[in-house]
Amino acid sequence: MTMPRKPPRRIRRGLDLAGGLLLAVAVLVPSFVGVAGLPALGDAVNPGSGVWRLAADAGRAESEDIALSGLAKPVTVSFEDSGLPHVRAENDEDLFRAIGYVHARFRLSQMDLTRRQGRGELSEVIGPQALESDRFERDLGLRRAAERDWAALPAGDPVRAMLLAYSAGANDAIGGLTRSGRLPTLFKVLGYEPAEWTPVDSLVVQRLVGQKISFDDQAVRFSYAREALGQKIFDEWFPAVPANKQQPYDKGPFKKLPLAPLPISAFPDDLAATPKPVAAGESKPVPVRAAGLAKSMEPLRERLGNLPEGAVHAMGNSNAWVVAGSRTESGAPILSADPHLPHSLPSVWYQIEGTSPGYHFSGATTPGLPLPLLGKTDHFSWGLTASQRPTTLYYLEKTDPARPGQYYWKGGWRRETTLAEPIKVRGQAAVDHKVRLTAHGPILQVEGRPISVWWAGTLPSENLRGVMNLLRAKGLDGFRDSLRGWATPALNFAYADAKGNIAMLNVGVAPQVTGHDPALPLPGDGSADIAGSIAFDALPSSVNPPEGYIVSANQRETTGDYPYQYSTSYNYVERGWRDGEIVLRLAQDAKLSLTESAQLQTDWHDNHARQLVPLLLDALKGVQLTPVERRVADLLARWDYNATPDAPQPAFFDSFKNRLSWVTFQPWWTHHRLAQDPDQALLPRNPDAGAWANETLRGTVTSWVQKDRDNPFFSLPDGTKRNATDVLREAFRQSVKRTVGKYGEDFAKWRYGTYQSVLFPSLAGLSALDIGPYPWGGNPRTINASVGTRDDAKGNPLSNLATAGATMRFSIDWGTGKAETVIAGGQSENPMSPWYGNGISLWMKGRSWPVVEGAAAEKISTVKWKATP
């Protein structure tokens, strides 16, 4: 699902730092007039003048000779007009050193503030506005996990050598920019110089990227619904497998293998292995009560709701498909992938080609990390989608007010482990912070009942080693084996190779909890401790299936008879809209071309409307309609379900999809006294608002309309009988009234693009540096997803201002050898650079840059850097 998280109340856009960020309105807006410790900038922050011109990457890049200490041999970096670089080295470590240098030259602000967020050190340069973020990251423990991983790498380890080389290259850039007075503008704004880059920083960035797409709070949110509805109704409304038609890529038969070992704490060293019991005494633990459970979790929900955007996973991520040669024009596999994340300037991605004796790849890197996360080698290509299964488990710890600092676990009282982590704060004294750890993990809720979290993102990780091995693999077997040590985030790797193979592999730990639902809060007394993880060879996968295609679009990867605890409909599982539409297109008999596959990434057909509108029109047959209602019905009958900017029908369906859920479920929400969670994101505020529960229930009500038209929940709690036809008609009438009332009776004024737009926000928090908004199409359910993540001035979601979607697109045809890509946000973070946001025009037109490599890239490159020791 692509329902956005409600922006945090206190910070809003101010600290959107996860996975790629710069700064914030919390700092830059005050700086116009000057506040303590910050300069008054005024017009200096305008994009066409002032401090932006002082940075090294302002204006067009030029050819240079560069000194990189520690190089074994010279390295060349060639840039296309688009800003896409090609790094050629005669030594593997030189390659990573040069990538570190290039990243820091074009994305140093992004790199520095990203590591600061992950380390919990933003307050040191931003001030007290960032304390909530810093406290949370200190508790979660990304820095501690990164330091542990670095300490575990022995001398001579290839991963260690790679990280050292990357850090050295980044530091060469930092040193040169500092000495020349040409540091990126935001360092000047904040008045500090960046520290040297370290391997631990890269490991922190790696974990922060994982946090963005795997640390979630759905268990907390849906505890409110489960408590109010009771287990039986909750399971009917929010089943494990979404109720409407699904398209799992692994349909079985499934392997049932013994669970792989998995620690009950990501930081066993902090807990001295097993926490030792303390004297029993006379007191007893506070019992777990069913009633009031959600109420007891409000402080945690409030805390998570006040974090920066990106700190908590908030939307389904990405499409990827692979098509076998039997279904393509070229006779060889085609792969297409487009990760969905918040749009930003600069982008979370940095496209690069790297060549050395041991490596050759073209792909998308994240500044701060030396390796591509998706792309191609000479032998295969791969893409990624997020697997929407629980890897964040919440534990309700048993405590006693008479025993402060203790909790009850496995029949005895245990003492918390505490870590003192003072936080430096700009303009004031350091703030004392104490991390509290139980056997399950850090305590995130300290008010009232302690609640701890087990998150896979701080487990020991072999991810970087896996990607290094992946890049050296020669085919499918090596590719798969390279991912065996992958810990988190849980991902689907789409794969296509030059030999004709296609595959989809689910990877990452999958915690199993005997007798309990890990997708809801768990008792912390030891009865719900993790029993292990699904074994790698039992995770969902598909290799060369008979249908000749594999699709992953955040849908549940398996059928309901998968023999393990897996995702639920109330995680972030797509309801079958995007994957259903992709499967519909790929299943056609016509042979697929690279152009057609790339165009499919830009498709706005709404599969939800494709399923519901015919049923609605059928329900309206024989009904006395008003003239306006008849005109709307006729309009829908002529719709091809394409949510383009010119179409009027999406304006109506945007209301109808919400009204259908409201008319069906709102009476029952009221009857069961289902309350909002503290950030008011569980339930819709009005009949036309989206919300997590509403989004989740779309699949449920669609299934009932299709297959269970007399479902008792169509009727009212007072006994008034209704069926699917009654609900469809009522939702239709309400939606006509609402749409006509909002846009008038002239359907020409219903053009979707008059109120649906896309915006590419500057992560500096300055609207002058944004690009857009532009009229746009699509919605969270279309292949070309358009997702709103902003609130208006009154705190209401701006669902029709798309600020998230496909952040890059990548497609390759192994028959023709052609590949193409586009990164909307461009390659540079400086608005004075021609490479700032320069992919947006192509992205909006559904076009891309060709992926050019090797000698061909040298011929078309217009800027060349030569680096020597």
Say how far apart CA 310 and CA 799 lie, in whole Å: 18
pLDDT digit string, tens, across residues 108-153? 999 999 999 999 999 999 999 999 999 999 999 999 999 999 999 9
Q: How confident is the model at residue 19 (pLDDT cuts 50, 70, 90)?
A: very low
Q: Please tell me the predicted confidence (pLDDT) of residue 638.
A: 97
Whether residue 347 is predicted with pLDDT greater than 70 in this model: the reply is: yes
Q: What is the 3-state secondary structure (H, E, C) of 141-153?
A: CHHHHHHHHHHCC
Residue 630 lies inside a defined structural domain of this protein: yes
Residue 137 lies inside a defined structural domain of this protein: yes
- Are 159 and 19 found together in one domain? yes
The mean pLDDT value for 159-182 works out to 96
The mean pLDDT value for 658-665 works out to 96
Sort strands 801-806 and 808-813 into parallel, antiparallel or unpaired: unpaired
Crossing angle of helices 142-151 and 92-119, in 10° steps, is 150
Q: Please tell me the predicted confidence (pLDDT) of residue 691.
A: 85
Q: Is the dihedral of CA 592, 598, 603, 607 positive or negative?
A: positive
Whether residue 3 is predicted with pLDDT greater than 60 in this model: the reply is: no
H or E stretch including 808? strand 808-813
Q: Please tell me the predicted confidence (pLDDT) of residue 689.
A: 83
Contact 461, 146 (CB under 8 A): no
Say how far apart CA 123 and CA 117 lie, in whole Å: 9
Q: How much is the mean pLDDT over the chain? A: 89
Alpha helices (runs of H) in 672-776, residue ranges in sequence order: 692-707, 724-743
Looking up tokens 């850039």, which residue turns up? 173
**169 vs 766, higher pLDDT:** 169
Say how far apart CA 603 and CA 648 lie, in whole Å: 17
AA letter at 382: W
Residue 427 lies inside a defined structural domain of this protein: no
Q: Out of 2-6, 553-557, 609-613, which region has the weakest mean confidence (pLDDT)?
A: 2-6
Whether residue 13 is predicted with pLDDT greater than 80 in this model: the reply is: no
Q: Please tell me the predicted confidence (pLDDT) of residue 22.
A: 31
Say how far apart CA 491 and CA 510 lie, in whole Å: 11
Whether residue 281 is predicted with pLDDT greater than 70 in this model: the reply is: no
Q: How confident is the model at residue 272 (pLDDT cuts 50, 70, 90)?
A: very low
Q: Which residues contact 713 (CB under 8 A, 6 or more apart)?
A: 236, 237, 664, 665, 668, 704
Whether residue 47 is predicted with pLDDT greater than 70 in this model: the reply is: no
CA angle 751, 752, 756 (to 5 degrees): 135
Whether residue 524 is predicted with pLDDT greater than 70 in this model: the reply is: yes
Q: Please tell me the predicted confidence (pLDDT) of residue 675.
A: 82
Residue 625 lies inside a defined structural domain of this protein: yes
H or E stretch including 323? strand 319-323
- Are 714 and 863 found together in one domain? no
Q: How confident is the model at residue 290 (pLDDT cuts 50, 70, 90)?
A: very low
Residue 169 lies inside a defined structural domain of this protein: yes
The total of structural domains in the chain comes to 2
H or E stretch including 170? helix 158-180
Residue 719 lies inside a defined structural domain of this protein: yes
Boundary (domain end) residue, out of 750, 768, 800: 750
- Are 863 and 736 found together in one domain? no
Residue 484 lies inside a defined structural domain of this protein: no
CA angle 437, 441, 442 (to 5 degrees): 55
Q: For residue 31, which of 189, 185, 184 has the smallest C-alpha distance?
A: 189
Q: Out of 20-34, 442-456, 491-505, which region has the weakest mean confidence (pLDDT)?
A: 20-34
Boundary (domain end) residue, out of 700, 719, 750: 750
Task: Order the strands of the 849-850 sheet from edge to edge.
Answer: 549-552, 319-323, 334-338, 808-813, 819-823, 849-850
- Are 721 and 863 found together in one domain? no
The mean pLDDT value for 611-623 works out to 96
Q: Please tell me the predicted confidence (pLDDT) of residue 863.
A: 95
List the CATH number of the domain containing 196. 1.10.439.10
Q: Please tell me the predicted confidence (pLDDT) of residue 36.
A: 33
Q: Out of 9-13, 187-191, 424-428, 512-516, which region has the weakest mean confidence (pLDDT)?
A: 9-13
Integer CA distances (angstroms), 727 to 619, 620, 630, 664, 685, in order: 9, 11, 18, 7, 20
Q: Please tell me the predicted confidence (pLDDT) of residue 9.
A: 33
The mean pLDDT value for 40-52 works out to 44
Whether residue 83 is predicted with pLDDT greater than 50 in this model: the reply is: yes
Q: Please tell me the predicted confidence (pLDDT) of residue 292.
A: 73
Q: How confident is the model at residue 511 (pLDDT cuts 50, 70, 90)?
A: very high
Boundary (domain end) residue, out of 699, 723, 750: 750
Residue 126 lies inside a defined structural domain of this protein: yes
Sort strands 64-67 and 85-88 into parallel, antiparallel or unpaired: unpaired
Structural domain span for residue 105: 12-214+858-868
Q: For residue 3, which of 461, 682, 583 has the smallest C-alpha distance?
A: 682
pLDDT digit string, tens, across residues 237-260? 999 999 999 999 999 999 999 999
Whether residue 284 is predicted with pLDDT greater than 70 in this model: the reply is: no
Tokens of 268: 């066993």
Q: Which residues contact 716 (CB under 8 A, 6 or more apart)?
A: 667, 722
Q: How confident is the model at residue 280 (pLDDT cuts 50, 70, 90)?
A: low
The mean pLDDT value for 13-36 works out to 31
Say how far apart CA 190 and CA 206 lie, in whole Å: 25
Q: Out of 44-48, 62-66, 199-203, 448-452, which region has the weakest mean confidence (pLDDT)?
A: 44-48
Q: Out of 35-44, 483-492, 725-734, which region has the weakest mean confidence (pLDDT)?
A: 35-44
Question: CA neighbours within 13 Å on the CB side: how many for 461?
Answer: 28
Residue 753 has a CB neighbour count (10 Å cut-off) of 18
Q: How confident is the model at residue 640 (pLDDT cuts 50, 70, 90)?
A: very high
The mean pLDDT value for 816-827 works out to 97
Length of the chain: 869
Q: Please tell me the predicted confidence (pLDDT) of residue 24.
A: 36
Question: What burial class does residue 425 get, using C-beta atoms within 10 Å of its C-beta: 0-12 exposed, 13-18 middle, 19+ buried?
Answer: buried
- Are 20 and 164 found together in one domain? yes
End-to-end CA distance of the chain: 50
Q: How confident is the model at residue 789 (pLDDT cuts 50, 70, 90)?
A: low
Say how far apart CA 249 and CA 546 lie, in whole Å: 12
Cα-flanking dihedrals φ and ψ of residue 685, to 5°?
Answer: -80, -25
The mean pLDDT value for 288-292 works out to 52
Q: Please tell me the predicted confidence (pLDDT) of residue 268.
A: 63
Q: Please tell me the predicted confidence (pLDDT) of residue 448.
A: 83
Q: Out of 223-227, 597-601, 773-777, which region has the weakest mean confidence (pLDDT)?
A: 223-227
Q: Please tell me the predicted confidence (pLDDT) of residue 262.
A: 92
Q: Please tell me the predicted confidence (pLDDT) of residue 488.
A: 92
List the CATH number of the domain containing 725. 1.10.1400.10
The mean pLDDT value for 830-858 works out to 95
Q: Please tell me the predicted confidence (pLDDT) of residue 38.
A: 35
Whether residue 27 is predicted with pLDDT greater than 50 in this model: the reply is: no
The mean pLDDT value for 649-667 works out to 96
Looking up tokens 């009727």, which residue turns up? 715
The mean pLDDT value for 759-787 works out to 91
Q: Please tell me the predicted confidence (pLDDT) of residue 791.
A: 56
AA letter at 796: N
- Are 203 and 62 found together in one domain? yes
CA angle 675, 389, 16 (to 5 degrees): 70
- Are 81 and 202 found together in one domain? yes
